[in-house]
Amino acid sequence: MKTNKNSSIEFRREVLSSRIMTRNGSGVFNEAVIPLEFRTDPLTGRTCRIVQYSPDKITRPNLSALEKKSKKLTCPFCKPLIDKITPRFPADLVPEGVIRRGKAIAFPNIGPYDVYGVVVAISDQHFIALKDFDVETVLNALLAAQAYIKSVQDFDVRAIYHFIAWNHMPPSGGSLVHPHLQSNAGYIPTDYQEQLLQASEKYYQQHESNYWSDLLKEEKENGQRYIGRVGHTEWLTSFVPKGRLSDVVAVFPGKASVAELTKLDLEDFARGLLKVFDYIDGLNLISFNMSTYSGFDKDRFWAHARITPRGLLLYSPIETSDQFYYQIMQDENICILPPETVAEELRKRF
């Protein structure tokens, strides 16, 4: 489906259905038709299935109990341990040993996933609920992570691939309650980074245009998934989400890399993130994954970030993960909240 006949972007979808016999309260069988939607990402060709469920049954976890339990454990990001046991950068990479921005502290990841890896303890507070984050706290953490990326770029010209990522709280894969984010840099892109870069280059070669610029124009025109603008950032939901509860995408127009973003750009991003946090909190969720994506040429690629709400499987009484064989073994996402529905809710907050 193309909203604009002159557009090079096509939102391909196919709606099918599954027929089953369900029982009513008296045990009598009735036929039910369950709609299924198959979508194809207009850039990468990645696919996703939309199977709608209501989020109304999501039960908010007991945050007080989680905070209390976490405080009984040793937290390496709390004072005084953060100053006593965390590692330090080599002096030729970061002369000060750590990077500080406000209350955010960046230090090497003791278990790096790439040649260069950093952890940013976002605050000296051990626990921050989504609704309690503020712009300054998030901004300082992003600035610390960006400063690390810039230090790596100055130190090692081969380390051209990088990103900032955030796993917030246990359902996202976060190993500690203490808020922290990470950044990695190195010589080899992740599989998805490579997909984005190659597909964006191919689009540029075919259409002599920037996909991300065209995408924003198309989404603004069709109005289904465009959310709004916060300063220098544009926000929308992804036509083909990577997450079970849909994704929110923030685009940085005219900037190829996160390393190029100004403090004002990052502040606008932080302001937008707080609006997304409010939406996630409104779903009775406490967790999300976030990652940035960077390229090399603003004519071909615009830096952007993807935020995915995370939670345990909605209707499971045994704290089942929201990731299962479709995502892990088949490399295909099952999304239960349509991106258009999520965009409609988020527009109320932007």
Return d(Cα 238, Cα 249) in angstroms, integer. Answer: 6
More confident residue, 248 or 62: 248
String of b and e for 22-40 (b: at least 16 CB within 10 Å)?
A: eeeeeeeeeeeeeeebebb
pTM score of the predicted model = 0.94
Token pair of 73 as six digits? 């454990």
Instruction: Decide: 117 and 184 in contact? Cβ < 8 Å.
Output: yes
Strands 333-335 and 47-50, how do they pair? parallel
pLDDT band at 5 (very low <50, low <70, confident <90, very high): low
Q: Is residue 5 part of a domain?
A: no
User: Stretch 129-154: mean pLDDT, rounded?
Assistant: 97
Q: Is residue 136 part of a domain?
A: yes
Q: Is residue 30 part of a domain?
A: no
What's the pLDDT tens digit per position in 58-81? 878 777 877 788 878 889 999 999
Question: What is the CB neighbour count within 10 angstroms for residue 282?
Answer: 15
Edge-to-edge strand ranges of the sheet holding 226-230? 99-101, 104-108, 116-121, 180-186, 161-168, 287-293, 304-310, 248-251, 233-237, 226-230
Question: For residue 18, what is the DSSP state?
Answer: E
User: Stretch 220-245: mean pLDDT, rounded?
Assistant: 97
Q: Is residue 34 part of a domain?
A: no
Burial class from Cβ neighbours inside 10 Å (0-12, 13-18, 19+) for residue 64 reads exposed
| Structural domain of 126 | 73-347
Q: Could you tell me which of 300, 294, 306 has the C-alpha nearest to residue 160?
A: 294
Q: Could you tell me which of 185, 130, 178, 183 has the C-alpha nearest to residue 153?
A: 185
Segment of 1-10, 256-265, 319-328 carrying the highest mean pLDDT: 256-265
Instruction: Decide: 311 and 57 in contact? Cβ < 8 Å.
Output: no
What's the pLDDT tens digit per position in 8-25? 899 999 999 999 999 998
Return d(Cα 173, Cα 202) in angstroms, integer. Answer: 33
Q: Could you tell me which of 317, 350, 315 has the C-alpha nearest to residue 336?
A: 315
Question: What is the CB neighbour count within 10 angstroms for residue 124?
Answer: 14
Q: Is residue 35 part of a domain?
A: no
Token pair of 335 as six digits? 């999304």
Q: Could you tell me which of 323, 238, 251 has the C-alpha nearest to residue 293?
A: 251
Q: Is residue 1 part of a domain?
A: no
What is the per-residue pLDDT for 72? Answer: 80
Q: Is residue 14 part of a domain?
A: no
Domain harbouring 211, CATH code: 3.30.428.10
Q: How many domains does the chain have?
A: 1
What's the pLDDT tens digit per position in 250-278? 999 999 999 999 999 999 999 999 999 99
Edge-to-edge strand ranges of the sheet holding 29-40? 12-23, 29-40, 47-50, 333-335
Instruction: Decide: 232 and 265 in contact? Cβ < 8 Å.
Output: yes
Q: Is residue 245 part of a domain?
A: yes
Tell whether the torsion through CA atoms of 127, 131, 134 and 140 is positive or negative.
positive
Q: Which run of H or E residues covers position 186?
A: strand 180-186
Strands 116-121 and 180-186, how do they pair? antiparallel
